[in-house]
Amino acid sequence: MTTIKATCPMCGDVDLTPAQVRLTVAQAAGWATYTFTCGTCHDLIEKAADDEVVALLSSAGVCVDLVPGEVLETHRGAPITYDDVLDLALWLETHDVIVPHLVAP
């Protein structure tokens, strides 16, 4: 089994399995981080990951969580509420705006 060595700021070097490491990559923003929980002090550690670290962790079998570019977009206005979703569902019951697009020409 692959062993990954990482460093906890409190405890020093720790040995981890690929399942104990989480790699998050946001290519659109140009950053990546990896996180793990120290087996000794149980702190959650997050560290920046450059391209070399991303490649090494990926090749070791660490699952990569890709952050879609849409997450980084600026949004304006209030968040969508449950009532907004319900209003849309009720409106769709009486308006067939999709049906004309489903019929083949």
pLDDT at 69: 85
Cα 89 to Cα 95: distance, rounded to the nearest angstrom: 10
What are the domain boundaries of the chain? Answer: 4-102
Cα 7 to Cα 9: distance, rounded to the nearest angstrom: 6
- Give the residue ranges of the chain where pLDDT is below 50: none
pLDDT at 104: 62
Q: At CA 3, angle to CA 15 and CA 14, rounded to 5?
A: 10
pLDDT at 100: 67
Which amino acid belongs to residue 53? V
Q: How many helices (H) and strands (E) does the chain have?
A: 3, 6
pTM equals 0.67
Contact 57, 23 (CB under 8 A): yes
